[in-house]
Structure 1
Amino acid sequence: MKNISILVPESAVAEAVSNPRYMFSAANQFLQASGSEPLFDVQLVGHQRQVKVHDGFFTVTTDKLLNEVEHTDLIIVPALFGDMKSAVGKNESTIPWLVSHYNKGAEVASLCVGAFLLASTGLLKGKKCSTHWAYYGEFRETFPDVEVTDGSIITEEGRIYSSGGANSYWNLLLLLLEKYTDRDTAIMASKYFAIDIDRESQSSFMMFEGQKDHNDEEIKKAQLYIEERYKEKITVDVLADFVAVSRRSFERRFKSTTNNTVVEYIQRVKIEAAKRAFEATRKNITEVMFEVGYTDTKAFRTVFKKITGLTPIAYRNKYQK
């Protein structure tokens, strides 16, 4: 029997608590239907019997208090709701418990922005981690000693698992189910819950809005220049001259504040514009390519796929109205 403890932190996203329980409980039914014994003992655990979640809209009744859990094989840390700093602060009492059971051999899996609570334990220090793409900047600023894996649906390192944004956590749950049972059971669950079992990237869902949460005014000025003139050919020298900073200093400061090189930032702005064109118009690939400042079809396709995980044609077919 595998003991699965679903942590119920205050301010958790309600679905990120109920869905893991639903899936592993359903897996027990799948196993029984195939003639096997149920494998999972799934329990909701928290620092009190009644925990308010989803900004107080729901209350979850836990099966056990934290101090009543003697042994567990897997701890699931659900996504948090609202302001991350405040949400983590409400759940500081869970941090020693997480660390203690990890040190006893338990695996730990965070769902979406549950990574903020997991990272607060220090267990992710020096490790890789996935989280919701919209929180990359805040996560990196809060936990500079953790490496965020851009676009990844699932990251695994040292008995610690993390997942990408929102419903991406279903893919992590399927991976864990397959690890504890077998491929057939995971496929059955993927069909039952209508999940694409082997999706590996959240890149196609990512929206690039520019990283401007910093105080370097010259770099912000350069960012706005790029975003307003993305159709033009923009060089590092042009930008450095525009903000009156030496090229070497400009490149260093740009990378430090935006977490992108200048070239990467230009590419991402252009590709974001291309994505919007594919979504909202019926323009063909060549028209969009020229519109965002590319003249080489191969180069455009290569950069587009690198950033979104899809070819321009696949993206257009997937999202065009």
Structure 2
Amino acid sequence: MKHLTILVPNIQTANSTIACIVGAYQIFTGANSYWEKKGNKPLFKIETAGVAEESAFINGLLTIKPQINISALKKTDLVLIPSLNPEFKQAMEDNMVLINWFREQYKNGAEVASMCTGAFMLASSGLLDKRSCSIHWNSADNFRSLFPEVQLKTEKLITDENGIYTNGGGYSFLNLLLYLVEKYYDRETAIYCSKIFQVEIDRQTQSAFTIFTGQKSHGDEVIIKAQQYIEDNFNEKISVEDLSRKLAIGRRNFDRRFIKATGNTPIEYLQRVKIESAKKAFETTRKTINEVMYEVGYSDVKAFREVFRKITGLSPLDYKNKYNKDADSMLSD
């Protein structure tokens, strides 16, 4: 029988930490139960593990008593790291014990998966350096500043690389759990868990949930001015060459500094600002696709659709139908 360890941290936890712990325990217990009903032996022994006798959550409203102290757990096959406080600054002493433990387990053949902002703890181990990682879009800027060696993929719902798994934010950790159930058990068991727990299976992207706000905590005042200009004038024709000239900086240097500060090229940033405005229009108004397209500065329907789909994962019409309560009356757009 394999061993599954669900970590119970007690430093820098968040309200969502307990949801990840309980959700993981429930889904894998359900998978084990279904697996047995099909005539198999349970695949996993499932245990919560920590370094304290109990961990308190939600200002002491709830506590979890780990079933085992990690000092007594010498070997495991799969480690699940729950979400943490997104203001995570450093691996504090108690969490460092957990980090050192799962790093050693990975070296000995275990696989490791982080749920949402649990990626901060996973990245602190160094195991994510030069590897892909997904995380909640709202924590991306802070994560990039702390772990520049990690290849952040905020558009992806799940990453799977060399026995290390990460996933996007919120309750999408449930999709990661289904992914792992399918990988360790089989497709049939994953579908069963999907139906029992009513979690949509096979979601691949979190792009449609992203709210683009523009990273401005980088400290480069020239680039902040450029960002503000783009945001104030996105519906007009903006020349990056003219903008760099306006800011008295060479085009090549401007592009380099813009990418370093925001994670996007100036053109990508402009596209994201335009599409964010279009998304809000689709969500809150009865305007047609063409009306919104012209308002955000596009004149080519094909180009608008391609950029919109690239950023959100949906066509403009699909997005509109998904998020606007009056969508049924607008299907003819």
Map Cα deviations across residues 77-130 of structure 1 (whole Å, 9 max, x no partner). 000135211675651221111111111111000001100000101111111111
Contact 1:9 1:53 in 2 (8 A): no
Equivalent in the alignment of 1:265: 269
Provide the C-alpha distance between the structure 2 equivalents of 1:281 and 1:90, rounded to a whole number of angstroms: 50
Contact 1:29 1:38 in 2 (8 A): yes
Equivalent in the alignment of 2:235: 231
Return the letter of the residue paired with 1:276.
Answer: K
The SS at the match of 1:213 is coil
| Deviation (angstroms), 1:139 | 1.0
Query: Share of identical aligned residues, percent?
Result: 48
Question: Is structure 2 residue 175 aligned with structure 1 residue 163?
Answer: no
> Residue 127 of structure 2: which of 120, 123, 128 is its match?
123
Give the direction of change, closer, same or farther, for the CA distance of 1:87–1:145 in structure 2 (3 Å limit). Answer: closer
Give the direction of change, closer, same or farther, for the CA distance of 1:64–1:144 in structure 2 (3 Å limit). Answer: same
Unaligned runs of 5+ in 1: none
| Deviation (angstroms), 1:224 | 0.6
Return the letter of the residue paired with 1:9.
Answer: P
Map Cα deviations across residues 39-87 of structure 1 (whole Å, 9 max, x no partner). 2211000001201234544211110001011211100000013521167
> Residue 292 of structure 1: which of 292, 296, 306 is its match?
296
Contact 2:51 2:94 in 1 (8 A): no
Equivalent in the alignment of 1:2: 2
Map Cα deviations across residues 8-43 of structure 1 (whole Å, 9 max, x no partner). 012151101110000011112212333333222110
Contact 1:75 1:108 in 2 (8 A): yes
Question: Is structure 2 residue 45 aligned with structure 1 residue 41?
Answer: yes
Provide the C-alpha distance between the structure 1 equivalents of 2:92 and 2:52, rounded to a whole number of angstroms: 16
Equivalent in the alignment of 1:145: 149
Aligned residue pair count: 321
Equivalent in the alignment of 2:278: 274
Contact 1:81 1:87 in 2 (8 A): no
Unaligned runs of 5+ in 2: 326-333
Question: Is structure 2 residue 310 aligned with structure 1 residue 320?
Answer: no
Provide the C-alpha distance between the structure 2 equivalents of 1:82 and 1:252, rounded to a whole number of angstroms: 28
Return the letter of the residue paired with 1:119.
Answer: A
Give the direction of change, closer, same or farther, for the CA distance of 1:171–1:309 in structure 2 (3 Å limit). Answer: same
Provide the C-alpha distance between the structure 1 equivalents of 2:21 and 2:59, rounded to a whole number of angstroms: 14
Contact 2:157 2:203 in 1 (8 A): yes
The SS at the match of 2:25 is helix
Question: Is structure 2 residue 54 aligned with structure 1 residue 50?
Answer: yes
TM-score of the two chains, using structure 2 as the length reference: 0.93
> Residue 260 of structure 2: which of 226, 245, 256 is its match?
256
Instruction: Name whichever of 213-222 and 34-43 sits farther off.
Output: 34-43
> Residue 28 of structure 2: which of 24, 27, 36 is its match?
24
Contact 2:8 2:48 in 1 (8 A): yes
Give the direction of change, closer, same or farther, for the CA distance of 1:103–1:50 in structure 2 (3 Å limit). Answer: same
The SS at the match of 2:174 is helix
Contact 1:80 1:87 in 2 (8 A): no
* RMSD, aligned α-carbons: 1.4
TM-score of the two chains, using structure 1 as the length reference: 0.96
